[in-house]
Amino acid sequence: MIISQQKPLADILASLGDSNSVFIVGCAKCATVCKSGGEEEVWQMQEALISSGKSVTGSVIIDEACHMLRVGRDLRGRQQLVDDADASLVMACGAGIQSVSAAIPKKTVAGLDSLFLGNIRRFGQFEQKCSLCGECVLSETAGICPVTACPKGLLNGPCGGMDEGRCEIDAEAECAWAQIFTTVRETGRIANLAESVPPKNYSKIPKPGKLKLK
């Protein structure tokens, strides 16, 4: 799931500038779970904009704002409300915001900051486990991703800052390599600790990424 967070209202107002009427778009999937762009947050945003002197022409919560066709269809269904607004404020991840900016020729304002691809630990607690590196190494690392869990993404073992199994940049966090090492010890899972791992192939993640299923 894409983890996102609402931008401060002051920033949103600054981006809206002299756009006085606003159409708000939320997302029923990730942004709803993150409580950054679901039904409730869209409603609160509407209230906040109105008390800041803006008018809100309407809103819609799209089921997956990253789905471009669906966004186009849902917005067409509310064409009048969209047309009446000077700008649309999108409370979805960066992908969702761009589905909207592609569908509406008017000003589009980002309401959220997109943070990472996250796992849900429990309600309201998200953790980054994968950074979409294009070439998964989990089979060689006992199922724990050092590309993501290590702030430096080191592939060949712990840096010199690791101590007592803790990470140099966060004493609360376990070093990714200590996690891998302990997991191997405790579960007998396989990890390649002894052999040098060659540098990562970054050509596997061309930007912008594209994938067409055949």
Positions that interact with other proteins (CB under 8 A): 151-165, 168-169, 177-178, 181, 193-200, 202
Nearer to other proteins, 68 or 184 (CB): 184
The nearest distance, CB 97 to other proteins, in angstroms, is 23
Could you say which of ligand SF4, other proteins, none residue 148 binds, taking C-beta under 5 to 8 angstroms by partner kind? ligand SF4
DSSP tag of 136:
-
CB contact at 8 A, 67 and 36: no
The nearest distance, CB 202 to other proteins, in angstroms, is 7
Q: Which residues, listed in sequence order, are joined to residue 45 by a DSSP beta bridge?
A: none
DSSP tag of 175:
P
Return d(Cα 121, Cα 112) in angstroms, integer.
Answer: 21
- Which residues have C-beta within 8 Å of that of residue 11, sequence separation ≥ 6? none
* Mask for 135-154, x = binds ligand SF4 (CB under 6 A): -xxx------x-xx-xxx-x
The nearest distance, CB 154 to other proteins, in angstroms, is 5
Quickly count helices (H) and strands (E) in the chain: 8, 9
Q: Which residues, listed in sequence order, are joined to residue 214 by a DSSP beta bridge?
A: none
The nearest distance, CB 63 to ligand SF4, in angstroms, is 26
Nearer to ligand SF4, 62 or 180 (CB): 180
Could you say which of other proteins, ligand SF4, none residue 131 binds, taking C-beta under 5 to 8 angstroms by partner kind? ligand SF4
167 is a contact residue toward ligand SF4 (CB under 6 A): yes
Could you say which of ligand SF4, other proteins, none residue 137 binds, taking C-beta under 5 to 8 angstroms by partner kind? ligand SF4
The nearest distance, CB 114 to other proteins, in angstroms, is 17
155 is a contact residue toward ligand SF4 (CB under 6 A): no
The nearest distance, CB 24 to other proteins, in angstroms, is 31
Strands 21-27 and 55-62: parallel
- Which residues have C-beta within 8 Å of that of residue 213, sequence separation ≥ 6? none
133 is a contact residue toward ligand SF4 (CB under 6 A): yes
Half-sphere exposure of 161 (CA within 13 A, CB side): 13
CA torsion sign for 31, 34, 37, 40 is positive
Exposed/middle/buried for residue 177 (C-beta within 10 Å: 0-12, 13-18, 19+): buried
Could you say which of other proteins, ligand SF4, none residue 126 binds, taking C-beta under 5 to 8 angstroms by partner kind? none
